[in-house]
Amino acid sequence: MKSPTDNTVFMFEKLSRAMGIIATSSGDARNRVFLSAKFLLQVNPQAVPESVREDIIWIRGMLKRKGDLQATFLGTRNVTASKIAARVLDAYLEMSNVVHERMNPSGAFGLGQ
């Protein structure tokens, strides 16, 4: 059975993959966000820390707000996709901090402070 930390790390991996696509793929924000959607939709809001849950729920809702992903993609403007990308970045940074703290509770590099 996986521990809560295992689930958090697994969800962080999905969020990290999505962030990598958003940051490095070619095309406009709309294209990059929707390329990353396959990973973003795998992030279970109930399996992430409470501090990022609202962001994940909002992101998932925005990706499927017109019913399915295809319809949402076709109806999304670049400015809206940029807002989604910014929220993904916020969630990624917060979750990165949480994972780092859980994996390294004694401080930087496990050396203590």
Averaged pLDDT of the chain: 90
Residue 27: domain span: 4-104
Amino acid letter for position 78: N
Residue 73 has pLDDT above 80, yes or no: yes
Q: How large is the average pLDDT for residues 4-19?
A: 89
Confidence of residue 113 (pLDDT cuts 50, 70, 90): very low
Total of domains in the chain: 1
In the numeric block, which tokens belong to residue 10?
Answer: 């697994």
Section 97-110 average pLDDT: 75
Burial code (b: 16+ CB inside 10 Å, e: under 16) for 37-63 equals bebbeebebebbbeebeebbebbbebb
- Establish if 109 belongs to a structural domain: no
Query: Is 96 inside any structural domain?
Result: yes
**Does 57 reside within a domain?**
yes
In the prediction, which pLDDT does 100 show?
A: 87
Within 13 Å of residue 69, how many CA atoms lie on the same side as its CB? 13
Is 110 part of any domain? Answer: no
- pLDDT class for 32, splitting at 50, 70, 90? very high
Spatial distance between the Cα atoms of 60 and 18, rounded to a whole number of angstroms: 12
Query: In this structure, is residue 112 part of a structural domain?
Result: no
In a domain, 113, yes or no: no
Answer yes or no: pTM beyond 0.95: no
User: Do the domain assignments include residue 82?
Assistant: yes
* Residue 77, domain member (yes or no): yes
